[in-house]
A and B are shown apart, each in its own frame.
Chain A
Amino acid sequence: MNKLELMKTANEVRKGIVTAVYNAKSGHPGGSLSAADIYTYLFFEEMNIDPADPKKADRDRFVLSKGHTAPGYYSTLANRGFFPVEDLKTLRHTGSYLQGHPDMKHIPGVDMSSGSLGQGISAAVGMAISAKISGDDYRVYTLLGDGEIQEGQVWEASMLAGFKKLDNLVVIVDNNNLQIDGPIDEVNSPYPIDKKFEAFNFHVINIDGHDFDAIDAAFKEARETKGMPTAIIAKTVKGKNVSFMENQAGWHGKAPNEEEYKIAMADLEKVGEALCQK
């Protein structure tokens, strides 16, 4: 995919997020929207995956460590062909396979159940270690929230990943700077994030998480990095491209009402139209 196609796809992913959360009447739109470009790049460009064979043995693995942003994950998987986009409207409904947080037992394309913060990265490390033991060459990706890295388990996992020189592992931190209670550096600052991962023997790349050129370069650099895992610290905007959600901590875990839903979709339609002019 070229850059323009990726941008258009990410916009469709964002529409899916807003639609899913609106229909669920609950969920986490803010951090889903901030990571939409990263999700899109990973699933449409970077990873060796096949929607027709979600469990194929040599597939690359993805673990959504910040599991509450499942709407972003699901919308990406749906748009990539793992399940019908229409099903996004069943998010969080009783009986739906689209659980509030990722469920590996029931959702095609989901490699690990997650949602309890700090736990996903450990599973990703386990997958990467397993590949090293058996000599498999699949790669493992995990997306963390910047607030999530306040969890001690993140650093237990990172210590092991660095020590084991897991160059088949890429940790992406969605650095949108907001958590439920407010700006991350006003709650309990995790900064400097890059220096922390460096200290745990990661190759660290800082990027603008909405710039596909930068995202592309970072993942290529990660592939070329040998002997150590890579951490990509992606600076993003929470609620990206929905005018009233951008940079608002209040939109971490709240669904839009009907009026807000219409405004959000109109915002995204506008983004889409602008992309078509390019």
Chain B
Amino acid sequence: MSEVKKIATRESYGNALAELGKLHDDVIVLDADLAGATKTGTFKKAFPERFIDCGIAESNLMGVAAGIATTGKVPFASSFAMFAAGRAFEQVRNSIGYPKNNVKIGATHAGISVGEDGATHQCNEDIALMRTIPGMVVISPSDDIEAKAAVFAAYEHQGPVYLRFGRLAVPVINDNPDYKFEIGKGIVLREGKDVTIIANGLEVSESLEAAEKLAADGIDAKVINIHTIKPLDEELVLAAAKETGKVVTVEEHSVIGGLGSAVCDVLSEKCPTQVLKIGVQDVFGESGPAKELIKKYGLDAESIYNKVKEFVK
């Protein structure tokens, strides 16, 4: 894998915003003293007059973005996932979600791969939180190409969108001519008949790697990239469950309330299926290099391979 190009999706976010800003002068980017880390600094440099730094005040950031949206512009409110979804949850719900204000929330540094900053900054709950807000679109892209496409799609979508990005550089896996991003549409990356692995974010590349290893053992795993957790591509999930029987979900998020729960919500009602949820269990994280944490919390390709192998036995 050393030859594969890697880039963090937060970088893609910053680059996409700068490109979007060139095309549309109604794009306004807001941040809360993290422009260097969220990469909105790229936009700030290009369009300083359309960049608003709210300082360390995330609740206000969301409200200001909501106010801007009421005037017809398209604000991208940016911060770390912990603060965007966590601290400002009620502001997102009441000032953005309830009035359906056309705000895009760019949440970077999501999940345990934030690494050394530790438990207080590792947001493994954001998808669960955002998913409960009526009408909120929730997207967790898997690589650079998908992250950029998601930003452009979010701009075109009328209504609130939550975009989840990571801190860690991840492999570019969608670099193929057939790749097409559509909100709410999953992507089949690998066909297989024994089990379906459904993943998003950086777990898509880990799952693909795990599927290769499973193939070597004669286990044929279908791999689906569900970049949009809400609205979920129910049709694709149901078809895969019917086709392969067992389903595994893999996410860099708590197994409570995230992708795994979203998939189970659908399957339990419409096609009861045995599901293995791989993700952060009901625990807080700890400090450490991202790669080590992903391994320790069972989210690396090797761990996925072992768990799926056990599951399909």
A: residues with CB less than 8 A from B are 61, 63, 103-105, 111-116, 118-131, 133-134, 136, 152-153, 156-157, 159-160
5 extra interchain contacts, Cβ-Cβ under 8 A, other than A122-B67, A123-B63, A125-B67?
A119-B63, A126-B70, A133-B49, A153-B59, A156-B55
Report B's interface with A, CB cutoff 8 A.
28, 49-50, 52, 54-55, 57, 59-60, 62-71, 73, 75, 90-91, 94-95, 98-100
7 interchain residue pairs of minimum CB distance:
A126-B67, A122-B63, A123-B67, A156-B60, A156-B57, A126-B64, A113-B99
Q: Identify the closest chain B residue to A110 (Cβ).
A: B99
- List 25 interface pairs A-B (beta carbons < 8 Å), by A numbering: A63-B67, A105-B99, A113-B99, A115-B94, A119-B90, A119-B91, A119-B95, A122-B63, A122-B64, A122-B91, A123-B64, A123-B70, A123-B95, A126-B70, A127-B70, A129-B52, A130-B28, A130-B73, A131-B71, A134-B73, A153-B59, A156-B54, A156-B55, A157-B60, A157-B64
Docked pose: A153 CA to B94 CA in angstroms: 14
Known: A113-B94, A119-B95. A130 touches B68 (CB 8 A): yes
Asked if B54 and A124 make an inter-chain contact with CB atoms under 8 angstroms apart, the answer reads no
Task: Chain A residues near B64: list those with CB within 8 A.
Answer: 122-123, 125-126, 129, 157, 160
Q: Is the CB of A159 within 8 A of B70?
A: no
**Interchain CB contact under 8 A, A121 and B63:** yes
Specify which chain A residues have a CB less than 8 angstroms from the CB of B99 in the assembled complex: 103-105, 112-113
Q: Which residues of A contact B70 (CB under 8 A)?
A: 61, 104, 111-112, 123, 126-127
Given the known A-B contacts A113-B95, A130-B73, A153-B60, are A123 and B66 also in contact in the complex, defined by CB atoms under 8 Å? Answer: yes
Task: Give the shortest distance, in Å, between A176 (CB) and chain B (any CB).
Answer: 24
Residue of B nearest to A63 (CB): B67
Residues of B within 8 A of A112 (CB): 66-67, 70, 95, 99
Which B residue's beta carbon lies closest to that of A154?
Answer: B60
> Which of A63, A122, A128: most chain B Cβ within 10 A?
A122
Question: Are A122 and B66 in touch, CB under 8 angstroms?
Answer: yes
**A160–B62 Cα gap in the complex (Å)?**
13
